[in-house]
Amino acid sequence: MTDGFGRAAWIGIAAAVAVIGLDVGALHAQTGAPAGSRPSAGDAATGAATGASSAPTTSSAPTTPAQAAKPLRLGDAVTTITRALFDKIARPKDGSVVEVVVDPLLDGKTGLHTVAAAEAGRRAAEIAKAYPHIRIVPFTPEALSRKPLLLIGTLSAVQAGAAGQNAEQGGGQAASAQTPDAYRVWFTLADTATSQVVAKAQAPAVASDVNASPLPAEADSPAWRRDAATAAYLESCAETRPGEALRPAYVAQLPVAALVAEANAAYAARRYKEALALYRRAAALPDGEQLRVLNGIYVTLDKLGRKTDAEEAFARLVDHGLRQRDLAVKILFRPGTPEFVRGREARAYPMWLSRIATRAAAGDACLEIVGHSSPTGPAAVNDRLSALRAETIRGRLDGASRGLGTRIVARGAGSRETIVGTGRDDATDALDRRVEFKVIGCS
């Protein structure tokens, strides 16, 4: 099946790559097929290394490195799966081009935009230049109005064996540092005219090629949580099958995502006034109250030196987190101590904690403060240290709003609830050293 944009569904296979798509059959001969004639999920097929296809009987969840071919260099993995998809896009009979937008790729565990994810997106865009009938266009609200194809993707760390499974699933027990064996690179192509997934491709990539450091806007952001928009993106990429729809929560906020992508790019280029205007445009949209938008407004105001406005923006960020009943803040401590780090990154901590205290007090909220640590060092030490750090935060909040301390409980989670789990103790796993503020019932 194709329409005026040359949309098609395919099945193919390349070395070390699994490509899952809708069975084309004689669909390439059609143009402008009505929505009712689009294949259903029952038309989905999978390709094996031999190139054979058959209707899938299990979930299209990706394989682990133990089940897949040897991991490729990251650039080769991206090149191969991109070509596997683009090779099957039919040339429109009227000679027009197929427009494709790329919603910037995410790290599959943290949901952050990372250096490696950005590199993968740029490489896919470069490969598209070899296809005269395909044009990668900027991911903007205006482009979305033309109903292009949409490419999304994730890079997810994978560990083999039981230890890796425990690290991926949380496990509830102290985790040991786990260096990824590989990264799973997932690309999903969808039709924005129907919100339907039309093809998927994945390949394993060498872990040492993946720089999981967050990009500037998110590296500078004070708060983190897996919000609905991010979760819906990740699920749309990894959990849908060809013929199924993208997650509604993801589709609904695509105009917001487009503005955030523009804003993040402007922020990275240090065009802070432009970034602020874009974040504010995103915030004004129906689905614009997202943590990444509120983070963006705060960090750009901070970069512009607008202290009072930045403090008010942080207060709105805190209010959002309290309404969601969970907010993780990146407060860093000196190694092995419950004392804050010294230097530029800690200058805002007193303001952050003051605002958290006043907003929690104003809302009569009761809080559980949870300290976390990365999985380096003995588990017992991490448990004690994370508890001391949570108590430090509790004391600071009580000092900022007298009486609030009676409505706060503090505990240390040690390394039992890591998100990244590599134990690198750098920017790539900063979330493992977060402090969480959870709204709980008052007793």
Q: How far apart are CA 272 and CA 297, in angstroms?
A: 10
Torsion of CA 296, 298, 303, 306, to 10 degrees: 140
pTM of the model: 0.82
Amino acid identity of 10? W
DSSP-derived secondary structure letter, 198: E
Domain ranges for the chain, please list them: 13-237, 253-320, 325-443
**Closest by alpha carbon to 416, among 170, 244, 194?**
170
**pLDDT computed for residue 134 by the predictor:** 97
Residues 315-324 as b/e (b if ≥16 CB within 10 A, e otherwise) read bbbbbbbbee
Burial 168-188 (b: 16+ CB within 10 A, else e): beebeebbebbebbbbbbbbb
How far is CA 138 from each of CA 82, 113, 122, 135, 268, rounded to the nearest angstrom?
A: 18, 17, 12, 10, 16
Residue burial 189-205, b: 16+ Cβ < 10 Å; e: rest = bbbbbebbbbbbbbbbb
Distance CA 1, CA 97 (A): 16
Sign of the torsion formed by the C-alpha atoms of 227, 231, 234 and 236: negative
Q: Dump strand ranges (E) for 208-321.
A: 223-224
Report which secondary-structure segment, H or E, holds 86.
helix 74-86
- Give the pLDDT means over successive 10-residue stretches in the chain (443 positions): 36 41 32 32 27 30 50 96 92 94 95 96 96 97 97 90 40 58 94 96 94 94 90 95 96 98 98 99 97 98 98 97 92 87 89 96 92 85 92 94 91 82 70 86 84
| Single-letter amino acid code for the residue at 250 | Y
Check residue 19 and give its pLDDT.
Answer: 57
* Residue 398 backbone dihedrals phi, psi, to 5 degrees: -65, -35
**Dihedral pair phi/psi, residue 336, rounded to 5°:** 75, 10
Class of domain 253-320: mainly alpha
Distance of CA 294 to the CA centre of its chain: 16
The CATH class given to the 325-443 domain equals alpha beta
Q: Where are the beta strands (DSSP E) in 109-167?
A: 134-136, 149-158
Separation of alpha carbons 374 and 389, rounded Å: 13
Matching fold, domains 253-320 and 325-443: no
**60 strand-pairing partners:** none
